[in-house]
A and B are shown apart, each in its own frame.
Chain A
Amino acid sequence: MLTFILAFRNLMGSGKRTWLNVSVLSLAFVVIIFYNGLLEGWNVQARTDTMAWETGNGRLSHPLFDQFDPFTLADSHGKTDEGLLTLLGKDASPVLITQATAYPNGRLFNVLLKGIDTRQTLLSVPVRLMDSLASAGEGGVIPAVIGDRMAKAAKLKAGDMMVVRWRDANGTFDAREVMIAEVFRTNVPSVDVSQVWIPLEYLREMTSMYGEATYITLSKEGVAKLNGAADDKLPASGELYKGWRYEDEDALMHEIDTVIKAKKGSSTVISMLLLCIALLAIFDTQILSIFRRQKEIGTYIALGMTRLKVVGIFTIEGTIHSVLAIALGTLWGMPLLKWIQHTGIPMPSNTDQAGLAIADKIVPVYSAGMLLATVLLVVISSLVVSYIPARKISKMKPTEALKGKLV
């Protein structure tokens, strides 16, 4: 306790330099929280959006389906279990996928034709308009919805027509006209870029894959329902369930986690650099103050302090920088971070990399665990850089220290 009081008094007495160090460290503290909060916010947003638009909270895929390999699509479809779909109702949404070629405005695009149930509510892909058009229209034109990235690339807008050509189950080419019923806006590029969504029944008919799907998306309730069943519970992720491969949330989010981890790596570099600068300043201050205050150190020892206690005072003195920095960082950083959380961080639209869902605005998320980890990081690292120079005191001769000479 005494050590703390003495260290605090000394530090407060040493003025400007202290505050400079504290300011730099508080900057590092806030920036680390900001970056982590941003990434966590992105993570949350990407997961939420991807689940809402593409994966749901679980998925039963045809065993041959590989979302990274379009060549598997020709074979990865199978008859859905009607009993299962009836049981699940709104909590399941089957999707059938076929490779196709689209010819918007006379140009050629390789696309994925995705058949989606026009009555489903599980995925956010807008199906309402398709549903009313499909039930009204007789045969001829197929209603379709596309995302705005696809619309931009193909120069399409609502009401436009284009020809699509595909191979049916027997390998024969066929072509029909589709009409863009609606262009939707999504944060998830993988339901947008090179995708054309059409009613499931049309696609089944076009490809003669009656009653078939490539995968069945499950809602949270759907997963719970299946897990709650008396027999035939869902298996572990990656295992087969009634002939379909089950993937849970974590498996579906694996790609996002990987990208976020990679992003974390690069943001950690920046954060650590800043932290290092701050720590270096403390380290430097410690060395300087131990050098300049030798007489004081000698006096402490002459007054009956043990060397270890003096080491303790100097170590704590350095470490208090971090406590002050956290206090200061909280003072100016909290309102700022709160405000950023309130307004969100606008993301440039060209950050659609790696097909990862990214919103126009990311709302940072500051979790208690992350805050605690950052506090500990700052305190412990400054404790270490304060201790290393202070350790030298225990090797000082008090007589030399009193003379104020360098040992």
Chain B
Amino acid sequence: MENNKIVLLEGVCKRFPAGKTEFTALSNISLSFGKGEFAGLVGPSGSGKTTLLNIIGSLDTPSEGTADVLGKRINLLSHKEAAQLRNYGIGFIFQTYNLLPVYSVYDNVEFALLLQKMSSEARKKAVMEALEWVGLTEKVKSRPSMLSGGECQRVAIARAIVKKPQLVLADEPSANLDSKNSHHIVQTMKRINKELGTTFIFSTHDEKVMQYLDRIIYLKDGMVDKDETVNK
């Protein structure tokens, strides 16, 4: 494995049982992502974007082929090892934010760190730093229900980056946002990508997001249709 490639997919297939037969969501995907990439999976609904991100995020395993993420072979990980990989190495951002409603903004961000052994001072510092990145230091005490969609997604970004993961996976992060907020959150992520060197992989069909991407991978019917590097 090339050592600057943090994600390496070879011949990945994913099939789901569909009645008596099987449905092939991904077929023969071979892709790699290097450190510090700002890349996006683009394609129509049902093309397999989420499925692919789930495999990279070790939430699912390929039916065929191999997926190596941060030096770990996803196919071979136990539940516990996969949890460990996500805990330290991967941040997730979801379309629906997935914040914990009973927690404050601060608690939501801190949550990602509670699973790591860390002193409370170090934790506090990291949380405040992450909230600074997304410009939400004023709202630490608010509950998610009191925030706008854009603010919620910024909390989710803070939660994803607070543990300084090497890789952040964002599944349609702007799908529920208006254009101003979409620009804002992608710009925020781009800044984090530039300054912290965090690798981002998106799935999107949002033009506003695409214009910021360095690399766009077009998926169609579970296959890579086009893989272009832009902005370079």
List residues of A whose CB falls within 8 A of some B CB: 2, 6, 9-10, 12-14, 295-296, 298-299, 301-307, 397-399, 402
In the assembled complex, B86 has its CB within 8 A of some CB on chain A:
yes
Q: Contact partner of B102 among A14, A301, A305, CB < 8 A?
A: A14
B59 touches A301 (CB 8 A): yes
Instruction: A295 to B156: give the CA distance in the assembly, Å.
Output: 14
A13 touches B102 (CB 8 A): yes
A296 touches B100 (CB 8 A): yes
A299 touches B83 (CB 8 A): no
Contacting residues of chain B (95-150) with chain A, CB-CB under 8 angstroms: 96, 98, 100-103, 107, 111-112, 114-115
Q: Contact partner of A306 among B79, B92, B96, CB < 8 A?
A: B79
Which A residues touch B80, using CB under 8 A? 306
B226 CB to closest chain A CB (Å) equals: 26
Q: Interface centre among B54, B79, B94, B100, by most A CB within 10 Å?
A: B100
Instruction: A12 to B101: give the CA distance in the assembly, Å.
Output: 12
In the assembled complex, B212 has its CB within 8 A of some CB on chain A:
no
Instruction: A370 to B114: give the CA distance in the assembly, Å.
Output: 39
B100 touches A299 (CB 8 A): yes
Which A residues touch B57, using CB under 8 A? 302
For the complex with contacts A301-B86, A304-B112, 8 further pairs of A-B residues with Cβ separation under 8 Å are A2-B115, A299-B92, A299-B100, A302-B57, A304-B86, A304-B115, A305-B115, A399-B59
- Given A302-B92, A304-B87, are A398 and B100 neighbors across the interface (CB < 8 Å)? no
Q: Interface centre among A302, A306, A397, by most B CB within 10 Å?
A: A302
Instruction: A301 to B115: give the CA distance in the assembly, Å.
Output: 11
Name the residue of chain A whose CB is nearest to the CB of B143.
A13
Q: Contact partner of A304 among B83, B98, B101, CB < 8 A?
A: B83
In the assembled complex, B187 has its CB within 8 A of some CB on chain A:
no
Summed over the interface, the residue pairs from A and B with CB atoms below 8 Å come to a total of 63
B102 touches A10 (CB 8 A): yes
Name the residue of chain B whose CB is nearest to the CB of A15.
B102
Q: Is the interface of A mostly helix, strand, loop or mixed?
A: helix
Q: Contact partner of B114 among A2, A12, A301, CB < 8 A?
A: A2
Instruction: Identify 20 residue pairs between A and B in the complex whose beta-carbon atoms are under 8 Å apart, listed by A's number.
Output: A2-B115, A9-B102, A12-B102, A14-B102, A295-B96, A295-B98, A296-B98, A301-B59, A301-B86, A302-B59, A302-B98, A303-B92, A303-B115, A304-B83, A304-B86, A304-B112, A304-B115, A305-B115, A306-B79, A306-B80
What are the 10 tightest A-B residue pairs by CB atom distance, in nearest-first order?
Answer: A13-B102, A304-B87, A304-B86, A299-B98, A306-B83, A302-B92, A398-B59, A399-B54, A399-B60, A304-B115
List residues of B whose CB falls within 8 A of some A CB: 54, 57, 59-60, 79-80, 83-88, 92, 94, 96, 98, 100-103, 107, 111-112, 114-115, 159
Which B residues touch A299, using CB under 8 A? 92, 94, 98, 100
Which B residues touch A397, using CB under 8 A? 60
B83 touches A13 (CB 8 A): no
- Given A2-B114, A399-B54, A402-B59, are A304 and B102 neighbors across the interface (CB < 8 Å)? no
A303 touches B84 (CB 8 A): no
B83 touches A301 (CB 8 A): yes
Name the residue of chain A whose CB is nearest to the CB of B100.
A296
A149 CB to closest chain B CB (Å) equals: 64
Which A residues touch B60, using CB under 8 A? 397-399
Instruction: A6 to B87: give the CA distance in the assembly, Å.
Output: 17
B112 touches A307 (CB 8 A): no
Q: Interface centre among A10, A302, A304, A398, by most B CB within 10 Å?
A: A304
Instruction: A402 to B94: give the CA distance in the assembly, Å.
Output: 9
Instruction: A13 to B143: give the CA distance in the assembly, Å.
Output: 11
Instruction: A305 to B111: give the CA distance in the assembly, Å.
Output: 10
B42 CB to closest chain A CB (Å) equals: 21
Instruction: A305 to B59: give the CA distance in the assembly, Å.
Output: 11
Which B residues touch A303, using CB under 8 A? 86-87, 92, 111-112, 115, 159
Name the residue of chain A whose CB is nearest to the CB of B98.
A299
Instruction: A399 to B94: give the CA distance in the assembly, Å.
Output: 12
Q: Interface centre among A9, A295, A303, A398, by most B CB within 10 Å?
A: A303
A307 touches B79 (CB 8 A): yes
